[in-house]
Structure 1
């Protein structure tokens, strides 16, 4: 029997998927969504590393409410990104993050132009947090990991 949280994550992923049916758009998202998460964390890291960690913890709390397996995947992904930011020189973090952010968002909008549908977050800001789970869902299905 599916729990309320399981129904919610399946519903959110299905709704998000409605504007991500084109294979090219999906491929663009697989590259650009992790890049956007990395660059977003990087911009916050440039303000203060603890702020980036705090944002990560808050997002992980949301992910744990939706799905423990997804939260664990995001913990690994976020941890790797925070580690990468920690090895960059502090004066390079903001420059790199801004460049990646701009290029990745251009990619996202090109993908949606190809798809012919607007980005999901225009209707519901939660989809900014669901995008990374959409990418993870493909990886999880490929490796038969339940979420």
Structure 2
């Protein structure tokens, strides 16, 4: 199994251009956020009826899937898993409130499409293919790479 630093080193190969990096710092979290919103939009009757907590932020498909996502990060780094858990919780809360003003699935699809257009534009500038075309696990490495680059002291 690769270490987090090995994943970052491989990911960084196709993320050298400053414009592409800047685009990724915006678009990767936006994509993650929109996926959380899309997952929250899936009817969660089974989860709500089973848990009966009356806590809509955790009684949804996004919360359930994020638990498995966090297992992926825990295997790589407890510190990174903590950062991603905080961001995930923020995504859950903000999406919950957005759902009171807009149909969440429509809002999330809009963010998702715009952010992916940005990602592909960034890779066009870079002149290299997105890493996830080589290995789908890079879809989970991207958010960690952004967190590492934006919030770590170097």
TM-score by length of 1: 0.89
Quote the residue 1:130 is aligned against.
141
Within the candidate set 50, 53, 73, 1:63 is matched to 73
Q: Matched residue pairs, number?
A: 138
Q: Are 2:121 and 1:113 equivalent residues in the alignment?
A: no
Q: Are 2:84 and 1:84 equivalent residues in the alignment?
A: no
- State which structure, 1 or 2, has the greater radius of gyration over its C-alpha atoms: 2
Shift of 1:55: 1.1
Shift of 1:141: 2.4
Shift of 1:8: 1.1
Shift of 1:121: 0.2
Measured in 1, the distance between the counterparts of 2:72 and 2:104 equals 26
Measured in 2, the distance between the counterparts of 1:138 and 1:79 equals 20
Within the candidate set 17, 21, 30, 1:22 is matched to 17
Measured in 2, the distance between the counterparts of 1:141 and 1:126 equals 22
Shift of 1:119: 0.1
Quote the residue 2:35 is aligned against.
40
Unaligned runs of 5+ in 1: none
Quote the residue 1:31 is aligned against.
26
Shift of 1:50: 1.5
Quote the residue 2:110 is aligned against.
99
Going by fraction, where is helix more abundant, 1 or 2?
Answer: 1
Measured in 1, the distance between the counterparts of 2:10 and 2:86 equals 25
Measured in 2, the distance between the counterparts of 1:119 and 1:95 equals 26
